[in-house]
Chains A and B, each alone.
Chain A
C-alpha cells in the first residue's frame, strides 16, 4: 500500500497556507518510487503497480481502487509513480523489474517507448498486465482496456438522431496522437460518415483540458454558427462545451455527447437542462487489473484481452441523467467509482462534499 499523505488542518485558510509549507514534502512524494506492503497474507504475491501516477483525479481514483483491491487480496503492492508523464514513467519499468515482482501492472503512457521494457520484463519471467492502454507488441500477459471505438458508436448515433441527422456539429477533440483519442474518433466518424447532412465544425484539440475546451467552444459558439449538436472527446471536452454554452445566451442548449461522465458533467447537464449522453468509464478497472494479476501470479489462466466496455459499470448513459448524478459527491468523481470505494474512502480523496 502506498504511504499515507500528510495530514493537513481542516480550516481552508490553513489548508491554503499549508500548500507552500508542504511543497518540499510534495517534491519528495512525487519523485522516485515508494513502496509499502499490504495486509498480511500467508502466500504473499508481489505486484508492481506502475501507475499513471499523481497527476489528476482520474489517476488518483485508479490508484485508490488498486490499493484497496490489493489490500483485500493480501497482495504486496509495490507502487511506481509515473507522474502523468511518459518520459518520467519510462525508467520506472526497469526499476520495477529490478524488484522481481510476480507481476507488473502497467498503465502505459508511452505506447512505443514502453514496448521494449515490457518485452524485457516478460523475458525475465515477470508477467505483465497492461491497463487502459497498450504497447506495440502482443508479448504481454493480459490487456485490460475499454473498446473506445465501439463504445463511442451508440453515443454518436444518439447525437445524430437528436440532430435529426442534419446541421452543424461542434466537435472538440482530445489529445493528438493519444490512442484513446484515436479510437474515440474512429467510432465517432464511423457513425457521422453515414450522415452527409451533418457538418462537423472542428473547434480544435482540447488536450484533455477543461479550460482549453471552454475557450475553444466559446469561440466557436461566438462565431455565430448555429449548432444542432456537440461532441467532446473526453470528459474535459464535454465539460468545456457545457460550460461555454451555459455562459452563452443560447437556449435551448443543443444536445452534447462524448466521454467520460464525471459527477461534474452530470451536474452541469442537470443544472443547465442539457440533453447529454456519455460513456460511463470509472477508473475502477484497476480492480480488474489487480485481480487478473493476482490470478496470473498464482499460475491461473487469464484472458489475453478483457474488454471492460462490456462490463455493466462501463455502459453508455443517456437521459434522464439525474438518476446518475449524485449531489453528495464532488465534481471530480467518475460515475461508478462510488460502486467500489466506500464513502469514507471517497471522503479521504476529497470526493465527498
Chain B
C-alpha cells in the first residue's frame, strides 16, 4: 500500500497491547503499512448494537446526566445569566483542552499552557496604547506557536520526556516574565478587546462561538483529514507510523505548536474576560485542561480520544464547579465533591472502556 493510500484509509492503529480495538486490525509481529489499515468502519449504530461502540459518547452522556441531575437539585443553574457565565468560562477551558487533546493524542503532555496564557496577558497589557491591538494579538499567537514548536522539537527531536520539556518551558516563560516585569506587570487590558468575551449572540458569547469554530475544524481534521489520521497513528504506535512513512517529528511538533497557539488564544479570551492585569491568569489551566481531557476520554498513552469528548469533559468540569459555587457549598466540601465526582467519572470511563474491548 502506498503512503497516500494508507493515509486515505479510515484506519485506526491499535496499540501493541490492545487486544483488538473496535474496528481495528490487530498487529502481529512487525507490522507493515498494509496491516494497520482497516477496510471498513461500521456505523456508530452498528457498533453500539455489537457492543463495540467507541467510548467517546460516555463523556457526552455524563455531561447529559449531570445536566439532568442539576435541573432537579440546582435549578438556578439554568438561569440565562448563569449559562452565559458558564459559556464564557467554557470557551477558555475548551480551547486549552482542545490544544491539550492534540498533545495527548501524540502521547505527550503540555504543562506550559498556563505560562503561555500569562505571557499573553503581559504582552497585551504592555502593548496597549503603543500599537494596534491586532499586532499584539498576532504577537501573542506567534509566541504560542514558538513555545509550542520549541516544546515539540525538545520532545520529538531531542527526545526529552514531555513532562520535563514542558515543565522546563513553564519555568523559562515564568522566569522571563518575572525578570522583565520584576513581578509587577504594567499596563491595562484594552477595552476594545473585552467584547470578545463579554458580548455575543443572545447569551452565547463570541468567545464560545470561536471556540466551537475551532472545535469544528479540529473535529473535521481529526475524523476526516489526513492530518488527523497521522495524529492518531503517531499516538497509538510511533514505530508503526514511522514505518508507514509518516514523519513523526512533523506530527508531534505541529501538535505542540497547535497547543501553544490555542493556549495563546485562550489567554487572549481570558484577558478579555477578566479585564485586569493578573500575571497569574493561567495558573490553574495546566491541570484543569489535562483533567478535562482525561474526563473526556483522552488517554495519557496517546492515540485515544476526540474533540467532542474533550469539550464535554471541560464542560463537565466547569459545570461541577459552577454547581458547587451556586450551591454555596463549603469550599472544602466543594473540593471533596468535585474530586469524588471526577473519580467516579474516570472509573466509569475505564470500566466501560474495558467492557467495550472485551
Known A-B contacts A12-B126, A27-B171, A202-B329; the reply to A211 vs B270 at CB < 8 A is: yes
Separation of A54 and B183 alpha carbons in the complex (Å): 6
A202 CB contacts on chain B under 8 angstroms? 328-331
B209 within 8 A of A: no
A210 CB contacts on chain B under 8 angstroms? 274, 276, 278, 280-281
- Please tell me if the beta carbons of A5 and B175 are within 8 angstroms of each other in the complex: no
Chain B 30-85 residues near chain A, CB threshold 8 A: 76, 79, 81-82, 84-85
Task: Report which of B84, B85, B171, B184 forms a contact with A351, defined as CB distance below 8 A.
Answer: B184
- Please tell me if the beta carbons of A209 and B280 are within 8 angstroms of each other in the complex: yes
Chain B 254-302 residues near chain A, CB threshold 8 A: 270, 273-281, 283-284
B324 within 8 A of A: yes
Task: Report which of B84, B178, B322 forms a contact with A30, defined as CB distance below 8 A.
Answer: B178
A243 within 8 A of B: yes
A246 CB contacts on chain B under 8 angstroms? 275
- Please tell me if the beta carbons of A60 and B183 are within 8 angstroms of each other in the complex: yes
**What's the minimum C-beta distance from B14 to chain A, rounded to whole angstroms?**
40
**What's the minimum C-beta distance from B314 to chain A, rounded to whole angstroms?**
14
Whose C-beta in chain B lies nearest to the C-beta of A6? B179
A204 CB contacts on chain B under 8 angstroms? 324-325, 331, 334
- Please tell me if the beta carbons of B278 and A209 are within 8 angstroms of each other in the complex: yes
B198 within 8 A of A: yes
Separation of A109 and B281 alpha carbons in the complex (Å): 22
B77-102 vs A, CB cutoff 8 Å, 1 = contact: the mask equals: 00101101110110000000000000
Report the contact-size class of chain B (Cβ under 8 Å from the partner): 35 or more
- Please tell me if the beta carbons of B184 and A23 are within 8 angstroms of each other in the complex: no
Whose C-beta in chain B lies nearest to the C-beta of A246? B275
A313 within 8 A of B: no
Whose C-beta in chain A lies nearest to the C-beta of B283? A209
B173 CB contacts on chain A under 8 angstroms? 19, 23
B160 within 8 A of A: no
B277 CB contacts on chain A under 8 angstroms? 331-332
Known A-B contacts A12-B130, A247-B198; the reply to A211 vs B278 at CB < 8 A is: yes
B161-178 vs A, CB cutoff 8 Å, 1 = contact: the mask equals: 000000000011111111
B234 within 8 A of A: no
Known A-B contacts A16-B126, A330-B186; the reply to A26 vs B179 at CB < 8 A is: yes
Task: Report which of A16, A18, A207, A215 forms a contact with B89, defined as CB distance below 8 A.
Answer: A215
B22 within 8 A of A: no
**What's the minimum C-beta distance from A349 to chain B, rounded to whole angstroms?**
5
A271-300 vs B, CB cutoff 8 Å, 1 = contact: the mask equals: 000000000000000000000000000000
B5 CB contacts on chain A under 8 angstroms? none
Separation of A225 and B75 alpha carbons in the complex (Å): 12
Known A-B contacts A12-B131, A57-B183, A331-B277; the reply to A20 vs B81 at CB < 8 A is: no
Interface size on A, residues (CB 8 A): 63
A112 within 8 A of B: no
Separation of A154 and B279 alpha carbons in the complex (Å): 31
B123 within 8 A of A: yes
Which secondary structure characterizes the binding site on chain A?
helix
Whose C-beta in chain A lies nearest to the C-beta of B86? A219
Separation of A25 and B173 alpha carbons in the complex (Å): 11
Whose C-beta in chain B lies nearest to the C-beta of A21? B176
A13 CB contacts on chain B under 8 angstroms? 127, 130-131, 135, 139
- Please tell me if the beta carbons of A211 and B280 are within 8 angstroms of each other in the complex: yes
B324 CB contacts on chain A under 8 angstroms? 204
A209 CB contacts on chain B under 8 angstroms? 278, 280, 283-284
Whose C-beta in chain B lies nearest to the C-beta of A250? B81
- Please tell me if the beta carbons of B85 and A55 are within 8 angstroms of each other in the complex: no
Task: Report which of A19, A218, A224 forms a contact with B122, defined as CB distance below 8 A.
Answer: A19
Known A-B contacts A5-B182, A19-B177, A243-B275; the reply to A176 vs B123 at CB < 8 A is: no
B198 CB contacts on chain A under 8 angstroms? 247
Known A-B contacts A219-B82, A224-B76, A243-B275; the reply to A26 vs B328 at CB < 8 A is: no
Which of B89, B180, B188 has the most chain A CB atoms inside 10 A of its CB? Answer: B180
**What's the minimum C-beta distance from B113 to chain A, rounded to whole angstroms?**
14
Known A-B contacts A16-B139, A224-B81, A331-B277; the reply to A176 vs B184 at CB < 8 A is: no
Top 6 A-B pairs, shortest CB-CB distance: A26-B175, A60-B183, A223-B326, A26-B179, A210-B278, A23-B176
Taking Cβ atoms with an 8 Å cutoff, the residues of A that contact B are 5-6, 8, 11-13, 15-20, 22-27, 29-30, 54-57, 59-61, 173, 176, 201-205, 207, 209-212, 214-216, 218-225, 236, 239, 243, 246-248, 264, 330-332, 349-351
Taking Cβ atoms with an 8 Å cutoff, the residues of B that contact A are 76, 79, 81-82, 84-86, 88-89, 119, 122-123, 126-127, 130-131, 135-136, 139, 143, 146, 171-186, 188, 198, 270, 273-281, 283-284, 321-322, 324-326, 328-332, 334
A-B contacts, 27 of them at CB < 8 A, read A12-B127, A13-B130, A16-B122, A16-B139, A19-B119, A22-B179, A23-B172, A24-B172, A25-B179, A26-B175, A30-B175, A60-B184, A61-B184, A204-B331, A209-B278, A212-B283, A212-B284, A214-B276, A218-B85, A220-B326, A221-B81, A222-B85, A224-B76, A247-B198, A330-B184, A350-B181, A350-B184
